[in-house]
Structure 1
Amino acid sequence: MTTTPPVNGQVIGLAHYASRAALESVLARTGTTFHQSVALRAVHDNGGTVERDRLVGRLTGALKIEEAVARETVDEMTALKLLVEPTPEQVALTDDSRELFESIRDAGNEIAARLYAGIPAEDLATAGRVLTLVTERANAVLAGS
């Protein structure tokens, strides 16, 4: 009989990588990278247009990647016409990239529904609070290093 381990970095990491692998299968079918999907969400969440530097900041902060990698992702997306530049300082979704984002989001929501099915709401709320606190503390450690 196995016992449930207490939450720790390994348990969190295993859950992250398993759920990300499920999402990656969706992304592979669309020809979209994970970094691109995060950028699409960030632009979408900002109303469809965002300052390039703000998008780069969101990618570096959320994904913990170097600024050069984030800029490369944005440049790649403009070259692929996933983003257009209404001004030199801004990037925006196209009709096609908005549809792409919505299809990725819908597929991701379906995966999440399957992953979280049957877990009591109070357990999900507790896990959310714990993981938010761990994220805040990890970000504070990174900021101090």
Structure 2
Amino acid sequence: MTTTTPLVDSRVIGLAHYAARAVLERVLARHGVTFQQSVTLRLASVADGPLERERLTDDVVASLKIAAAEAHDTIEELIAARLLAPEPPSHVRITDTGRELYETSSAETGAIAARIYAGIPTEDRAVAGRVLTLVTERANAELATSER
């Protein structure tokens, strides 16, 4: 019996996504953070300074394809946990505790990712990256068209 490698499609992409996300969520659970919170925290962490709250909301919505109300709730959860702090009049910034949590969980998941990607040739990863970027662009275009 021979096993053939499947062509990339939404099922293959989804299986890879959910497997990787399950690994990430296991790490995040040890730190008391959800997936949505970690994505939001990352966006605040890589910003040059305080972010306008609406911009952060828009970035979370675009990244996770969730409703703005859900993104607002996630930001409020992070403020309540003191991982983000409000900056008047309408900005938020990552706190030292938030930055430390982000860096710690990133280091943990980075080590796991290194094991997962070990032995996969750089050229193969580059091709996969190009294909997945194109799929993402096209799916986002479809979403934009259907929202009109």
Which range, TM-score by smaller chain? Answer: over 0.9
AA of the residue aligned to 2:20: S
Structure 2 CA distance for aligned equivalents of residues 108 and 124 of structure 1: 18
Q: 1:48 to 1:104 in 2, by over 3 A?
A: farther
TM-score by length of 1: 0.97
Q: Which moved more, 1:126-135 or 1:75-84?
A: 75-84
- SS state at 2:51 partner: strand
Structure 1 CA distance for aligned equivalents of residues 114 and 50 of structure 2: 29
1:99 maps to which residue? 100
Displacement after TM superposition at 1:114 (Å): 1.0
AA of the residue aligned to 2:28: L
- 2:87 corresponds to 1:49: no
Displacement after TM superposition at 1:76 (Å): 1.2
AA of the residue aligned to 2:119: G
Displacement after TM superposition at 1:34 (Å): 0.5
TM-score by length of 2: 0.95
AA of the residue aligned to 2:107: D
2:25 maps to which residue? 24
Structure 1 CA distance for aligned equivalents of residues 108 and 50 of structure 2: 23
AA of the residue aligned to 1:115: I
Any stretches of 5+ residues in structure 2 without a counterpart?
none
Displacement after TM superposition at 1:48 (Å): 4.4
1:123 maps to which residue? 124
Structure 2 CA distance for aligned equivalents of residues 72 and 95 of structure 1: 21
2:115 maps to which residue? 114
Point out 4+ residue stretches in structure 1 off by more than 3 angstroms. none
- SS state at 1:65 partner: coil
- 2:61 corresponds to 1:60: yes
Displacement after TM superposition at 1:49 (Å): 2.0
Which deviations, in whole Å up to 9, do the C-alpha atoms of 1:61-106 show, x marking residues without a partner? Answer: 0000001100010111111111111213111111111100001111
Greater RCO, CA 8 A, separation 6+: 1
Which deviations, in whole Å up to 9, do the C-alpha atoms of 1:27-62 show, x marking residues without a partner? Answer: 000000101100111011112421111110010000
Identical residues among aligned pairs (%): 56
Any stretches of 5+ residues in structure 1 without a counterpart?
none
- SS state at 1:118 partner: coil
AA of the residue aligned to 2:33: T
Which deviations, in whole Å up to 9, do the C-alpha atoms of 1:109-129 show, x marking residues without a partner? Answer: 112111111000000000000
- SS state at 2:88 partner: coil
For these two proteins, the number of residue pairs brought into alignment is 145
AA of the residue aligned to 1:117: A
